Structure 1
Amino acid sequence: MRFVSTRGVAPAVDITAALAAGLAPDGGLYVPDPIPCAPPLDADADLADIASRLLAPYFDDSPLAAALPAICADAFDFPAPRLPLDDSGDAVLELFHGPTAAFKDFGARFLARALGALRHDGDPDVTVLVATSGDTGAAVAAAFDRRPGFRVVVLYPDGRVSPRQAHGLGCWGDNVRALRVAGTFDDCQRLVKQALGDAALRARVPLASANSISLGRLLPQAAYYARAALRQQRDTGAPANFIIPTGNLGNASACWLARRMGPPLGDIVLACNANDVLPRYFDGAPYTPADARATLANAMDVGAPSNFERLRHWHVDDAALRGAMRAFSVDDAAIRAAIAQAASDGAPVPCPHTATGLDVLRRLRAAGDTRAWIVVATAHPAKFESVVEPCIGRSVEAPPALADCLARPAHADPMAPDYDALRAVLLG
């Protein structure tokens, strides 16, 4: 299979080149051409098996084809349960049972295993660059922690992630370095893209991307949507409709990709925070990136979502894209109310991001939508104790893996939102 740039200038490449490069030479994002149909999938299969079968067409005739089942078995070795919210048929898809308690663990672990399988003895070390609004960096750091042949440089916006998220970004050491940038996530993302597009730098320092611009992050995330949809259809006879908290559109793009491949997915609704670039666009306004605003759902504080470029590429025009999904904006007051309401109802306590999805579900119900919905639970609430605990009046216990991270010392170096500063770090 070949992969092309969304900007149409860079030459087509195979999957191994797309994984290694992250960003295409023309600044675009790699996409499969064409998108394959899913092979037959068994709803009763485990997640690793579904992932291996679903992703196989992308890896046909590549050096990773034979290794794909083992890569998936290693990356998808923790659960992604679909749990009922109540007796209405609504459910949550819990994606936070991995080592850093966020959905990013699936894609980060897959990418680390795939890039590791492509290495040969004597290859130079690869620097994995990642910009994070909170959860991606920790997942990538954990996935590449002490992995021979790789070093990781994590950029995050100083003061705009939760204290526990910040600790999880800086607690690794060894081959992982955290940089707290005096700016926004969009600044961090801009710096990473600038480095990836710097041919002179890449000639001296082999680079790879671990943000959702990387196909190695995006493709595996389609697997948990496919399995949830297959099991929803098996259990209810109806396709699965998803409400997805989103900022940079990676998780949402993976859901759209899963639907496009053929598994029984229904409607897709995006739950955004007060950064409302996407809700305004899907309501008919021109796509206009904006400066990111700080919110309680900080991992979604994105004003220029990278994967919008992929979604636009996959649709013939704006009308087609607007017909493919909807988007709603949820403010901080509604996030607090959704967290408090879940606790009052005796339901699982959500993180602030998952709370945006629960508020959107409430709004759909109020508008008369009676269909069953699956709300994607993106992170464990204990990562956001400073937001969640005041809403519910009690403490939230950290899962064991997160507790282990919090027990380690953590350090991050300050950095200006300046490309020369990042370049100096990468060449150092």
Structure 2
Amino acid sequence: MKLYSTKNHDLSVDLETAVFNSLPADKGLYMPTILPQIDKILMENWDKKTLPEIAFDIAYTLLKDDISAEDLKAIVDEAANFEAPLYPLQDDTFVLELFHGPSLAFKDFGGRFMSRMMAHFLKKEQKEIQILVATSGDTGGAVALGFLNVPGIKVTILYPKGKVSLIQELQLTTNGNNIEAIAIDGTFDDCQALVKRAFHDEDLNAKLNLTSANSINISRLIPQMFYYANTYAKLKNDFEDLVFVTPSGNFGNIAAGMIAYKMGLPVKKFIAATNSNDIVPQYLESGVYNARPSVQTLANAMDVGDPSNFVRILDMFNNDIEKLKEMLSACAYNDEQIKEAILEVHKAKNYVVCPHTATGYLAVKDLKENTAVTEKTAYIILATAHPCKFPDVFEELGIKYEEPEQVAELYKKDKHQVEMNNSFEDFKAFLMK
């Protein structure tokens, strides 16, 4: 697979280069030069296949020129070794539970796949790499567990101090070994800016083999296509049209779904559900992209004021906003609306949704109220994290949930983190030493 930069379509690099460089020198994002079409016969038989089997079909379609079928199958089988079940909220509305992996968030798919792909390439390179990752909540935990004790890789995770939940912080700071956590005095945008600047610093790159595990890295997006396809396989015999509703912060999750769509996955529409950081909803309404500092919300993993992966989405539609709007809608909800949605779902179904998933529920509710609904359409809300990651929210609402076993184990561990301001010079000095 060859990849270009969203800022230079004439650029051409191979997969290994894109994975380890993360960002092109021109500060664009890597995208595949060609998005091969998924074989329709394969898709017709997906209802008879498991999630890992469907995942392999997609991965092989994209990566068959880069990784052997045997090695790719091993990577997929290790990365996608947990389920992504559908919970029916209504006859036509489903919650896609993506929190059954080790870190209890959808990003386990990306983190585990990326770590195994990098390990595959490192076997022949025999070099060590330094991964830098910024997290607003869930990315860091998935990356930490995905890369823990992987030979040849050291991981440094930046997170905004005081702006992640206790569970999320424990997942970042209790690993040790090759995982280091830095609490930045600032927002997620500050963390992301430090990481991006590091990739373009000549001194750092001369000394360290830097790469990223954020969704700016193309190898994070590839495995996130798997569960879109698996959901299609489960629903294709009962519904003609699928509408995916994706809680969106940095827009990597929904970008992955749209790449799958461009490769031939039958999707009627994508809905991006956001919190008060409503940059993309405002852009689709006004045509003006107005990045701004993020604000803190209950749905903290979506507290992003300049979503990086939206560039990829625009690129797929040749920066034509009208064409994009045919496939993508976006909406935003504040904290009070999110809390009301959590209570509403719990009262109606005795089912607990996290604050991010609640934005998806509200989007479906609004969509049904404002458009004609047919029996042929299924609405799929992507549940991006387990409710246990937001204990303060549910304590306030008086809602109880079943806590997974791994959470109880986290409370027994000691936290180890470095605290730092948002100065790049300080961050650079820390990495250089």
Global fold match (TM > 0.5): yes
1:423 and 2:428 are equivalent in the alignment: yes
Q: 1:230 touches 1:263 (CA, 8 Å); kept in 2?
A: no
For residue 52 of structure 1, what is the aligned residue in structure 2? 56
**What is the rounded CA distance, in whole Å, between the counterparts of 1:311 and 1:276 in structure 2?**
16
Query: Aligned in 2, Cα 1:410/1:397: closer, same or farther, shift over 3 Å?
Result: farther
TM-score (norm 2): 0.95
Q: 2:130 touches 2:155 (CA, 8 Å); kept in 1?
A: yes
1:300 is aligned with what amino acid? Answer: M
SS at match of 1:372: strand
Using the TM superposition, give the Cα deviation of residue 303 of structure 1 relative to its aligned residue in structure 2, in angstroms: 0.4
**What is the rounded CA distance, in whole Å, between the counterparts of 2:239 and 2:179 in structure 1?**
46
Query: Aligned in 2, Cα 1:355/1:35: closer, same or farther, shift over 3 Å?
Result: same
1:389 and 2:392 are equivalent in the alignment: no
1:128-179: CA deviation from partner (whole Å, max 9, x where unpaired):
1100000000100001111111110000011111122111111111111100
For residue 161 of structure 2, what is the aligned residue in structure 1? 158
1:204-226: CA deviation from partner (whole Å, max 9, x where unpaired):
11111100011110111011101
Query: Aligned in 2, Cα 1:151/1:319: closer, same or farther, shift over 3 Å?
Result: same
1:169 is aligned with what amino acid? Answer: L
Q: 2:19 touches 2:118 (CA, 8 Å); kept in 1?
A: yes
1:384-417: CA deviation from partner (whole Å, max 9, x where unpaired):
01012322x2433321233333332112211111
| Residue from 85, 92, 117 that aligns with 2:89 | 85
| Residue from 182, 198, 211 that aligns with 2:201 | 198
For residue 231 of structure 1, what is the aligned residue in structure 2? 234
**What is the rounded CA distance, in whole Å, between the counterparts of 1:10 and 1:102 in structure 2?**
36
**What is the rounded CA distance, in whole Å, between the counterparts of 1:276 and 1:122 in structure 2?**
42
1:414 and 2:419 are equivalent in the alignment: yes
**What is the rounded CA distance, in whole Å, between the counterparts of 1:406 and 1:116 in structure 2?**
30
**What is the rounded CA distance, in whole Å, between the counterparts of 1:327 and 1:192 in structure 2?**
27
**What is the rounded CA distance, in whole Å, between the counterparts of 2:100 and 2:426 in structure 1?**
36
2:393 is aligned with what amino acid? Answer: V
Q: How does 1:16-165 map to 2 (within 5 A)?
A: 16-39=16-39, 40-41=42-43, 42-63=46-67, 65-86=69-90, 88-120=91-123, 123-165=126-168
For residue 376 of structure 1, what is the aligned residue in structure 2? 382
Please list every run of at least 4 consecutive aligned residues from structure 1 whose deviation after the TM superposition is greater than 4 angstroms: none
**What is the rounded CA distance, in whole Å, between the counterparts of 2:125 and 2:244 in structure 1?**
45
Q: How does 1:247-326 map to 2 (within 5 A)?
A: 247-316=249-318, 317-326=320-329
Q: 1:6 touches 1:309 (CA, 8 Å); kept in 2?
A: yes
Structure 1 stretch displaced more, 313-322 or 145-154:
313-322
Residue segments in structure 1 that go unaligned for 5+ positions in a row: none
Q: 2:107 touches 2:142 (CA, 8 Å); kept in 1?
A: yes
**What is the rounded CA distance, in whole Å, between the counterparts of 1:171 and 1:397 in structure 2?**
22
**What is the rounded CA distance, in whole Å, between the counterparts of 1:239 and 1:55 in structure 2?**
24
For residue 354 of structure 1, what is the aligned residue in structure 2? 357
**What is the rounded CA distance, in whole Å, between the counterparts of 1:122 and 1:323 in structure 2?**
44
1:52 is aligned with what amino acid? Answer: F
SS at match of 2:289: coil
Q: How does 1:162-177 map to 2 (within 5 A)?
A: 162-177=165-180
Query: Aligned in 2, Cα 1:111/1:122: closer, same or farther, shift over 3 Å?
Result: closer
Residue segments in structure 2 that go unaligned for 5+ positions in a row: none
**What is the rounded CA distance, in whole Å, between the counterparts of 2:349 and 2:407 in structure 1?**
24
Query: Aligned in 2, Cα 1:153/1:64: closer, same or farther, shift over 3 Å?
Result: farther
SS at match of 2:130: strand
Q: Give percent identity, aligned residues only.
A: 39
Using the TM superposition, give the Cα deviation of residue 266 of structure 1 relative to its aligned residue in structure 2, in angstroms: 1.6
**What is the rounded CA distance, in whole Å, between the counterparts of 2:208 and 2:295 in structure 1?**
33
**What is the rounded CA distance, in whole Å, between the counterparts of 1:92 and 1:122 in structure 2?**
42
SS at match of 1:84: strand
Number of aligned residue pairs: 425
Query: Aligned in 2, Cα 1:9/1:263: closer, same or farther, shift over 3 Å?
Result: closer
**What is the rounded CA distance, in whole Å, between the counterparts of 1:122 and 1:37 in structure 2?**
31
Q: 2:287 touches 2:321 (CA, 8 Å); kept in 1?
A: no
